[in-house]
Amino acid sequence: MLLEVRDLHVHYQKVAALKGISLQVPSGGIVTIIGANGAGKSTTLRAISGLVRPSKGEIHFDGQRIDNLPPEQIVGRGIAHVPEGRRVFPDLSVEENLRIGAFLRADKDGIESDLEDVFRRFPRLKERRTQRARTLSGGEQQMVAIGRALMSGPKLLLLDEPSMGLSPVVVQEIARIVADIADTGVPVILVEGNRHRRLGGQGRRPAHQ
């Protein structure tokens, strides 16, 4: 298994947000986590990427325990997290946003070829590479957020509700892109709420586990 989460508990002060989640992610494909608002989906992703500390349980990635590492080391080991709400840098250009994803990397040639790869996946971002992120549509901002995550050269991509607030056509487009990312060798953990249109219900269906 690429990722194993065992009996994960997370508390925010005294509130128990997660009470014993376990999951396994193989080294290919898409694993989808679906649940109601407040069920703890975002907290699960935050714990995997080191943004919150588990109060109990273990997370193993690529054969090593990571639940005691700071977020930047977890990114360095190959986990990229696209948070809910996208969080692009509004006053930076598309290209600057994308390059920020590579901030831990020193391999200049690799960065340039990954940037070209992101522009190949998202031709619309190439057309808008000098445009400020704040002027993009919601779907385009989601593409920037996913592209920025890909720029870290991940072995695993965490996507938190990427279809939130997007039109059906754009949701379908993002679903195709996510399926393509998984097909080209980067497994994905996809989190979706159960109140709105989901990637899993559109176009190609991710493999549920």
Residues that bind ligand ATP (CB under 6 A): 12, 15, 17, 35, 37-43, 84, 193
- Nearest CB to ligand ATP, comparing residues 57 and 76: 57
Q: Where are the beta strands (DSSP E) in the chain?
A: 3-12, 15-25, 30-35, 56-61, 64-65, 79-82, 156-160, 188-193
Residues 6+ apart with CB under 8 A from 128: 94, 136, 140
Minimum Å gap between C-beta 168 and ligand ATP is 20
Minimum Å gap between C-beta 140 and ligand ATP is 22
- Nearest CB to ligand ATP, comparing residues 43 and 163: 43
Are 193 and 32 in contact by the 8 Å Cβ rule? The answer is no
Minimum Å gap between C-beta 122 and ligand ATP is 25
- Nearest CB to ligand ATP, comparing residues 20 and 35: 35
- Nearest CB to ligand ATP, comparing residues 42 and 97: 42
Minimum Å gap between C-beta 37 and ligand ATP is 4
Output the CA–CA distances (angstroms, integers) from residue 150 to 76, 167, 188, in the order listed: 13, 23, 11
Q: Is 188 helix (H, G, I), strand (E, B) or coil?
A: strand
How far is 78 from 156, CA to CA, in rounded Å?
Answer: 6
Q: Is 206 helix (H, G, I), strand (E, B) or coil?
A: coil
How far is 150 from 197, CA to CA, in rounded Å?
Answer: 24
Residues in the chain: 209
Q: Identify the CA nearest to 118 among candidates 93, 100, 95.
A: 95
- Nearest CB to ligand ATP, comparing residues 125 and 145: 145
Minimum Å gap between C-beta 39 and ligand ATP is 4
- Nearest CB to ligand ATP, comparing residues 15 and 106: 15
Minimum Å gap between C-beta 185 and ligand ATP is 27
Sheet of 56-61: strands edge to edge? 15-25, 3-12, 56-61, 64-65
